[in-house]
């Protein structure tokens, strides 16, 4: 709702009151109409101040209403009514003014912001465009180039930048409300015509076409296949070239097209599932609601390699003091140098004051960890080494200290067995680069206690990451699902495809990089090392093992052969591609003839592999593993799997995540295709449809949010 009060000085104050973010629900819109009408009709009122309760102006339209039939007064005429008011309307922007919230403020005649506030037209992140006049008013206010950037990226703009750009008229460190009231008194009685943005013309560069073309190129690089940012460009073009009324018509047409799109549905699903992941539960009844996290005042990181450095920076950035431990002086020195320069860059970029950073001390002595509340181990992926460290930590650390491991897939319970307090051992699986990537898989072993899970999830929040609780199995959720996906990519090469063909299909789907480019970037030796550990190749492989089979299942030795010949990816200048110019992947004729020789050596008839087959075999095998994970209770819900893939594995947001995508495609189709591919390739067991998928199809393919109820909780590993 919206509260109305009159205060001395002939000012009416209208306060949006809809916790937690004052979203513009049907009731709020009705109340705004009513209160603005009341203020304009009241002879005693000379100016109106519009603000939000609880220090937040407005989080925009109520997204929950988008999946229901729209009721109540629409936003556009409501904002027009405010703009048309003869009495000045001043918006008080505290906290946030996002989406429809900023559009509402743009309909006001003046905007006063608190210095801590943020504004933005964030609709594009929900698969939409600002459809309450935002695409037409913002370019008129700040010019086409700046508006184009804000509308197509949906980025959050600080109050300082907002005043620089002209989005707000004034920024204050003290009370924005008091400032606005005083300001309103000074403009009461002035003519409001010049303040109506709908009457302005958008400042536009001479070469509008090349500006818009450049934006489309960037959109294609950032989110290929996404409809909303392209529609945003079209709407801004309308603002630059058409009168306001016609621009508004264009905005509405484009919104009507986006509003019912599968992409908008997928992105709004991502918005809610990301928040739902924080509400974790385990079958034992422990949950975010009934388990209190331990406070973390002091943390430690063991190992300052690729991951440890980023983890230390994340902790420090959250204001947590860190002790970083290495094995030898040289590595310690290199780690310290790298961490310090990362922190300097970070604080420059984010404008963080040094005082807000947690101090980092560097040591070779594990005994310094006796007062830490939480330790994160990030040493080599070696079970014996990890067990040795957990055993040492048990004697050094306080008995209530939480011991976390950053392993990418080793058995958490085996690591815990080396600790004196297995119930306080938990996996905290960060993703590279750890100070950038949002995902944190919180891996719960069979003996991990609820308090350990709660503390790790609380830590994720403090680090501004998205924590998702998963069960203990090889590769957990994310990496486990990647394996069949990667294997299919190898098999497709064996059968006749080229790396660039596979990558193109995946990139057209929306991944920023195809799987072969990704492997070249992270180094082919990473997977090679783990296959050697598992005895799939290298010295542990029993003599006489068939080249293309392991344990009766199909195996591709292609990546092993590449590694043996020194092709490790970008770092060696060649892998699945050739890198003559640093980081630029070009198809390699050598690889093409190598693949031809390989096929003839093993008598494989090369064939033209179609784009549909590439996409289906890669994605459906990954999805099928997701169903197995649900069946085994390694993930609590399909939503959790989707959050992991969207926030940690570059799954395109406008596709919702693998499980959501499977539902959008149609579960019967996914089942049918898997059956078909499994019939054709009976030696690839992963292609055999999981019983969970069959069960869901038999139950009529219910929507994703209903799957959780159908999952057999008794098999849960959480």
Ligand X SMILES: NC(=O)c1ccc[n+]([C@@H]2O[C@H](COP(=O)([O-])OP(=O)(O)OC[C@H]3O[C@@H](n4cnc5c(N)ncnc54)[C@H](O)[C@@H]3O)[C@@H](O)[C@H]2O)c1
From 83, 123, 500, 625, the catalytic residue: 123
- Least CB distance to ligand X at residue 517 (A): 16
- For the record, the structure tokens of 2 come out as 């919206």
Q: Is 103 a catalytic residue?
A: yes
Question: Chain-centre distance of CA 324, in angstroms?
Answer: 28
Write down how long the chain is. 718
Please, which residue, 307 or 456, has the CB nearer to ligand X?
Answer: 307
From CA 151, how far away is CA 129, in angstroms rounded? 8
Q: What are the structure tokens assigned to 305, written together?
A: 């390699």
Q: Retrieve residue 315's tokens.
A: 């902790």
Residue closest to ligand X when measured from CB atoms: 305
Using CB distances below 5 to 8 A depending on partner kind, what does residue 372 bind out of ligand HSC, ligand X, none? none
> Rounded to the nearest whole angstrom, what is the least distance from the CB of residue 312 to ligand X in the complex?
11
Helix H or strand E encompassing 500: helix 499-509
Give the nearer residue to ligand HSC in terms of CB position, either 155 or 599: 155
User: Exposed, middle or buried: residue 64 (CB in 10 Å: 0-12, 13-18, 19+)?
Assistant: exposed
Active-site entry in 103, 441, 494, 507: 103
| Integer Cα distance of 415 and 505 in angstroms | 40
Buried b (16+ CB within 10 A) or exposed e, 575-598: bbbbbeeeeebeebeebeebbeeb
Tell me which of ligand HSC, ligand X, none is bound by residue 307, counting a contact when its beta carbon lies within the kind-specific cut-off of 5 to 8 angstroms. ligand X
Q: How far is the CB of 434 from ligand HSC (least distance, A)?
A: 21
Query: Is 58 or 311 the residue whose CB approaches ligand X more closely?
Result: 311
Which residues here bind ligand HSC, judged by CB under 6 A?
Answer: 20-21, 23, 59-64, 75, 96, 98-100, 103, 122-123, 126, 128, 130-132, 134, 255, 259, 272, 275
Q: How far is the CB of 184 from ligand HSC (least distance, A)?
A: 25
Query: Which CB atom, from 190 or from 382, has the smaller least distance to ligand X?
Result: 382
Q: For ligand HSC, which is the closer residue by CB, 103 or 613?
A: 103
User: From ligand HSC, ligand X, none, which one binds at residue 103 (CB under 5 to 8 Å depending on kind)?
Assistant: ligand HSC
Q: Which candidate, 412, 410, 369, 366, places its Cα nearest to that of 389?
A: 366
**DSSP letter, residue 552:** T
Give me the helix-helix angle, 658-665 and 667-680, nearest 10°. Answer: 100
Least spacing, CB of residue 317 vs ligand HSC, in Å = 17
- Which residues contribute to the site for ligand X (CB under 6 A)? 302-308, 325-327, 331, 378-381, 385, 389, 406-408, 430-432
Q: Binds 326, which of ligand HSC, ligand X, none (CB < 5 to 8 A, cut-off by type)?
A: ligand X
602-632 in b/e form (b: 16+ CB < 10 A) is eeeeeeebeeebbebbbbbbbbbbbbbbbbb
> 101 or 358: whose CB is closer to ligand HSC?
101
Distance CA 369, CA 346 (A): 26
Shortest Å distance, C-beta 293 to ligand X? 23
Q: Which residues, 6+ apart, have CB-to-CB distance to 716 below 8 Å? A: 282, 283, 471, 633, 636
Residues annotated as part of the active site? 103, 123
């Amino acid at each position: 709702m919206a509260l109305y009060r009159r205060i001395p000085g002939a000012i009416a104050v209208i306060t949006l009151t809809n916790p937690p973010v004052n979203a513009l629900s049907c009731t709020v819109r009705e109340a705004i109409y009513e209160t603005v009408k009341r203020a304009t009709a009241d002879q005693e009122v000379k100016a109106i101040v519009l603000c939000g309760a609880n220090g937040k102006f407005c989080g925009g339209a109520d997204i929950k209403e988008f999946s229901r039939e729209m009721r109540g007064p629409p936003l556009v005429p409501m904002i027009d009514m405010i703009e048309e008011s003869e009495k000045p309307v001043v918006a008080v922007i505290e906290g946030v003014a996002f989406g429809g919230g900023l559009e509402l403020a743009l309909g006001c005649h003046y905007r006063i912001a608190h210095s801590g506030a943020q504004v933005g037209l964030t609709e594009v992140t929900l698969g939409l465009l600002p459809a309450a006049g935002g695409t037409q008013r913002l370019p008129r206010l700040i010019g086409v180039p700046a508006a184009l950037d804000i509308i197509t990226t949906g980025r959050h703009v600080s109050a300082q930048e907002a005043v620089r750009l002209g989005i707000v008229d004034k920024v204050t460190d003290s009370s924005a409300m008091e400032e606005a009231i005083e300001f309103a008194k000074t403009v009461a009685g002035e003519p409001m015509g010049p303040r109506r943005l709908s009457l302005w013309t958008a400042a536009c560069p001479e070469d509008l076409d090349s500006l818009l073309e450049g934006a489309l190129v960037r959109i294609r690089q950032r989110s290929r296949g996404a409809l909303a940012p392209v529609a945003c460009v079209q709407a801004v073009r309308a603002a630059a070239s058409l009168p306001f009324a016609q621009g508004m018509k264009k905005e509405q047409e484009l919104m009507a097209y986006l509003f019912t799109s599968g992409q908008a549905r997928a992105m709004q699903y991502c918005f809610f599932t990301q928040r739902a992941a924080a509400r974790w539960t385990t079958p034992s009844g422990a949950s975010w609601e009934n388990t209190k996290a331990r406070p973390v005042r002091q943390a430690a990181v063991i190992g300052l390699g690729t991951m440890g450095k980023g983890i230390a920076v994340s902790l420090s950035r959250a204001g947590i003091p860190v002790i970083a431990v290495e094995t030898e002086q040289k590595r310690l020195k290199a780690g310290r140098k790298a961490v310090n320069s990362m922190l300097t860059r970070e604080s420059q970029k984010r404008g963080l004051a040094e005082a807000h950073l947690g101090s980092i001390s560097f040591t070779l002595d594990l005994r310094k960890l006796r007062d830490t509340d939480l330790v994160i181990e990030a040493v080599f992926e070696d079970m014996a080494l990890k067990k040795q460290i957990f055993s040492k930590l048990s004697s050094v650390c306080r008995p209530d200290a939480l011991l976390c491991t950053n392993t990418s897939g080793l058995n958490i319970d085996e690591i815990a067995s080396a600790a004196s307090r297995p119930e306080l051992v938990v996996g905290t699986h960060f993703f590279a680069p750890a100070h950038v990537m949002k995902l944190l898989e919180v891996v719960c072993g069979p003996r991990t206690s609820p308090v350990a899970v709660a503390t790790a999830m609380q830590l994720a929040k403090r680090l501004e990451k998205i924590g998702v609780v998963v069960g203990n199995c090889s590769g957990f959720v994310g990496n486990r699902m990647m394996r069949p996906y990667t294997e299919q990519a190898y098999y497709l090469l064996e059968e006749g495809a080229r790396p660039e063909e596979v990558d193109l299909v995946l990139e057209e789907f929306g991944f920023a990089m195809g799987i072969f480019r990704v492997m070249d970037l992270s180094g082919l030796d990473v997977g090679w090392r783990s296959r050697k550990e598992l005895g799939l190749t290298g010295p542990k492989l029993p003599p006489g093992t068939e080249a293309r089979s392991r344990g009766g299942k199909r195996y591709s030795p292609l990546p092993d052969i590449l590694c043996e010949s020194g092709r490790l990816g970008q770092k060696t200048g060649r892998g699945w591609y050739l890198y003559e110019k640093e980081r630029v992947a070009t198809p390699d004729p050598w690889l093409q003839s190598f693949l031809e020789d390989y096929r003839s050596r093993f008598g494989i008839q090369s064939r033209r592999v179609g784009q549909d087959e590439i996409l289906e075999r890669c994605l459906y095998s990954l999805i099928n593993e997701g169903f197995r994970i649900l069946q085994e209770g390694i993930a609590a819900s399909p939503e959790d799997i989707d959050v992991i893939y969207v926030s940690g594995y570059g799954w395109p947001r406008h596709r919702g995540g693998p499980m959501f995508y499977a539902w959008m495609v149609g579960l019967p189709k996914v089942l049918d295709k898997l059956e078909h591919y499994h019939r054709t390739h009976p030696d690839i067991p992963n292609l055999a449809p999981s019983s969970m998928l069959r069960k869901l199809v038999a139950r009529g393919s219910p929507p994703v949010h209903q799957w959780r109820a159908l999952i057999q909780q008794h098999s849960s590993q959480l």
